Amino acid sequence: MIGWLTQTFIGKIIATVLVSMVPVIELRGGIPYGVGFGLSYPEAFIAAFIGNMIPIPFIMMFLRRIFDWLRQFEKTRGVIERLETRAHLKGQKVEKYRALGLFILVAIPLPGTGAWTGALVASVLDIRMRTALPIIALGVITAGIIVLGLTHGVMTII
């Protein structure tokens, strides 16, 4: 069943989109994954960008409600509080520089940064979606260009 994901062009695109939707992995893992399975650099970039951006509006729309609901349960309360604390810590820099801070947070392709973190911070800081979404998208594009360059460099060496 899963074999078609790595054997057909559409399957490779879908797999790259799905990998890029996963938090922490995001586009940083999606581009090398797509290229490694035979997509061209532009194909891998576009598929990873789309996959990375799909969850962002949903995160921004529903995160507060989900956190409020999860806070009711003893087992998840601590996790939610840690996530909010982390978002507030990252949000201090974003709050100081607003759009530029959010862009930099998303654009630097390191663990703990990226579109998911940017959406979390934007949500916690009450940055409106129509403001945050284009900034996050621009940050994802920038991170994608960096990752594309790194992937190309590594693939050239190999």
Can you give the pLDDT at residue 99?
Answer: 86
35/33 Cα distance (integer angstroms): 6
Neighbouring CB atoms inside 10 A of 5's CB total 16
Place of tokens 């960008």: 49
HEC string of 10-23 equals HHHHHHHHHHHHCC
Global pTM reads: 0.86
34/131 Cα distance (integer angstroms): 30
Can you give the pLDDT at residue 98?
Answer: 81
Question: Taking residues 34-55, what's their average pLDDT?
Answer: 96
Distances (CA, A) of 37 to 27, 31, 43, 54, 74: 15, 10, 11, 22, 43
- Compare 1 and 36 and report the one with higher pLDDT: 36
52/25 Cα distance (integer angstroms): 9
35/125 Cα distance (integer angstroms): 36
Q: At residue 87, what is the residue type?
A: A
Q: pLDDT grade, residue 32 (50/70/90)?
A: very high
Q: At residue 125, what is the residue type?
A: L
Encode pLDDT of 46-80 as tens digits. Answer: 999 999 999 999 999 998 888 889 888 998 998 88
